[in-house]
Structure 1
């Protein structure tokens, strides 16, 4: 566990915030954590969250499941391949996705799954890994619980009822993404300027990112410099996405980030939980995020419409 940070904004490091007082503390402690999260989301759009309540054993199992999945044969992975943006589930091969539309496809492979809805698309499960489904469904539930707690803190930070964001996410239109960055051969040269993951912002409200120790994630500062989001054991990286930026009228910002080719001689694994509002949620400027000098910057948009626009532009 990491100590609370008195000064969140620095010139060279992404803030680390201890979330345990929000989970276990009194109203004053919860308000202080929410304040720190607001400042970090405004100054950086990124922060490390320690003490988030995610069981370590579940996280370790999820990484083990991810490694087993990506070790399957190409035929087995293609049997559960991603088909379209409407379902947004299944296996995505190396270079299939292009997060930066001006660069070649990303040097990574991925597998998407999501909380299933009674009448929605179904997840695709590899037949070769019978334990994969129940273990990932359990991990999904833990991610939803953690994301809801973060959303509660965000609501308090904006002087909104604690369930303001949670109620707008209660249909669980989220995406869990397992990511594998294969090791590149010695002497590999990025002729077309490709990256392991191109420069981009996330599409939804918030993202929870779990990293292994390989590193490579970089975040762009307000000054335009790129700094490393070095893995810190016991933390989850939280960042705000495009819809949260619209919702809060840039009080919380959506920050460009990428995964560089440094240390590409070794494999990298990460797990991202993309928290997205209900598809029918009306995303419009929150009342406490605008005034006469800072009027709403965006017209209202439905969360589902926004997501489809971004996904169709990516693949």
Structure 2
């Protein structure tokens, strides 16, 4: 099984046949593997490179400087996360990565830091561009599930999303048994936009429990569905396990950078099985508030 490529520009035109074809392909991708590459996302390559440059500058800063912005708790879920601090797979040693979480425009614009990152207008512009792209994908999701087109976007209008800058440093010592760059996990929210840069390593688990590579494809955004979308759709859309392994070649000596945009519903949104998704089987999960689910998931991770 391979990860499909979907041209989103065909969804944004008035031709209903082409638009519906995109909706059909997105449904199939979300149902069968939970991952897809988006072509013609509308996000400027120059803007993306500027964000990667800002990310590299931040992670190149001394540890003492980065720790001035340390992540403190799951309620705020912002700031710097150091090496091995996070266990995406709670049964394995801490992940060999560092990260910086940015929650929303208010936090972006009010961080006081000597580091050229958090109050950088490039970051705010990129956050808003990701929000716009996520909303377009959510519109396609709604149509694929026979819902009003703006069913999901109205439930995401508080911009309760997390932009996460990620750095996987070169390995200086041998890892602990079972330790990887990012442990096997599924994402918590509605959908994730992932931007990779130069060095790959991401793997996706298929329905046959096989791991396949999800490499960087220049100019494309990797999109996957998360746990809350899986709950909403009664497993019609799947939340797929994925991981970042340690390379067994020269890439182990190189830094790996990526950017994830985690799209979450408003905290007070009730996630209950959609009527159009209960026809094949009874609801699998009880209703839950989106904010409650996110908090419980983060508590298991840190």
* Residues 207, 239 of structure 1: 8 Å contact kept: yes
Match of 1:298 among 285, 290, 295: 285
- Structure 1 match to 2:297: 310
Match of 1:73 among 62, 72, 90: 62
Q: d(CA) in 2 for partners of 1:96 and 1:123?
A: 25
Residue 96 to residue 160, structure 1, CA distance change in 2 (3 Å): same
- Structure 2 match to 1:8: none
Residue 15 of structure 2 corresponds to residue 26 of structure 1: yes
Give the structure-2-normalised TM-score. 0.95
- 1:279-298 paired onto structure 2 within 5 Å: 279-291=267-279, 293-298=280-285
- Structure 1 match to 2:192: 207
Q: Size of the alignment, in residue pairs?
A: 299
- Structure 1 match to 2:143: 156
Residue 228 of structure 2 corresponds to residue 243 of structure 1: yes
1:204-230 deviation line (CA, Å, top 9, x unaligned): 000000001211000001111101001
1:42 Cα offset (Å): 0.5
Q: d(CA) in 1 for partners of 2:214 and 2:10?
A: 24
* Residues 102, 162 of structure 2: 8 Å contact kept: yes
1:130 Cα offset (Å): 6.7
Residue 111 to residue 130, structure 1, CA distance change in 2 (3 Å): closer
Segments of structure 2 that go 5 or more residues without pairing to the other structure are none
Residue 263 of structure 2 corresponds to residue 278 of structure 1: no
Query: What's the secondary structure of 1:106's corresponding residue?
Result: coil
* Residues 209, 236 of structure 1: 8 Å contact kept: yes
Give the structure-1-normalised TM-score. 0.92
* Residues 55, 117 of structure 2: 8 Å contact kept: no
Residue 34 of structure 2 corresponds to residue 49 of structure 1: no
- Structure 1 match to 2:4: 15
Q: d(CA) in 1 for partners of 2:46 and 2:272?
A: 39
- 1:111-190 paired onto structure 2 within 5 Å: 111-116=100-105, 124-129=111-116, 132-185=119-172, 188-190=173-175
Residue 123 to residue 279, structure 1, CA distance change in 2 (3 Å): farther
Query: What's the secondary structure of 1:33's corresponding residue?
Result: helix
Query: What's the secondary structure of 1:82's corresponding residue?
Result: coil
* Residues 90, 124 of structure 1: 8 Å contact kept: no
Q: d(CA) in 2 for partners of 1:307 and 1:285?
A: 17
- Structure 1 match to 2:246: 261
Q: d(CA) in 2 for partners of 1:257 and 1:61?
A: 27
Segments of structure 1 that go 5 or more residues without pairing to the other structure are 1-10
- Structure 2 match to 1:6: none
Q: d(CA) in 1 for partners of 2:267 and 2:118?
A: 30
* Residues 65, 132 of structure 1: 8 Å contact kept: no
Q: d(CA) in 2 for partners of 1:126 and 1:152?
A: 37
Residue 122 to residue 133, structure 1, CA distance change in 2 (3 Å): closer
- The root-mean-square deviation of aligned C-alpha atoms, in Å, is 1.6
- Structure 2 match to 1:226: 211
1:24 Cα offset (Å): 2.8
